Amino acid sequence: MSKWIDISQTLSNTIAHWPGDEPFHFNIGITKEQTGSVNIGNISTSSHTGTHVDAPFHFDENGKTIEELDVNLYVGEAKVIDLTEEEKVTVEALEQFDLTGVTRLLMKTRKDINQEQFPEEYMVVDEAVGAYLRTCGVQLLGTESPSVDSVNSKELLAHHALHENGIFILENIVLTDVEPGMYDLIALPLKIEGADGSPVRAVIRKRT
């Protein structure tokens, strides 16, 4: 059986974060020397640092929060496609691929990923993609980009279009060394009450 492949960014004190968000920080708050038995770490971060999922509440005040989402969205068969030659995720770009019956779609959208530097430019998703992916049966869209919308967007048209068509979002995955094809995916968010998003440990395994 194929081994699981980690497609997550490594959370570290040098990982890039969304401009203006709280950076990720981990430290050993209490040492084994102090307690006599164990080390205990502390974490502070934005919920959208590194590989993460968005809950609809992230961009919709009436949207579901992270603990309300169906965990089955984030576990199961997924298709990886390569869009690195495209400038934008459009319907025309996606029509190159047979997406019939695909529930989870993972997109290679960056040729190089420097996890310590927030990208000056990255591939965004056209708002028309939401309706198209719904006709294919897609319910989860994963991207190597830090967002499906541009860094300066306030309207978040892609976020809203995907949500309106029943498609959830997984961002900042790492597919650099992954070949296109069919995989099993596990990308479970933490069960955080009231949260707008959550880091995930995303892994895939080649289907045989």
Annotation says 163 is catalytic: no
Separation in Å, CA 130 to CA 94, 107, 153? 11, 14, 17
Residue of 179, 186, 184, 190 lying closest to 208 (CA atoms): 184
Residues 76-100 as b or e (16 or more Cβ within 10 Å = b): eebbbbbbeeeeebeeebbeebebe
* Bridge pairing between strands 197-199 and 52-54: antiparallel
- For residues 123 and 52, give the distance between their C-alpha atoms in angstroms, rounded to a whole number: 17
Q: List the catalytic residue out of 52, 58, 159, 163.
A: 58
The sign of the dihedral angle between the CA atoms of 182, 125, 53, 137 is negative
Separation in Å, CA 58 to CA 29, 202, 203? 30, 20, 24
Cβ neighbours around 102 below 10 Å, total = 20
- What tokens appear for 148 in the block? 């499906």
Q: Which residues are catalytic?
A: 58
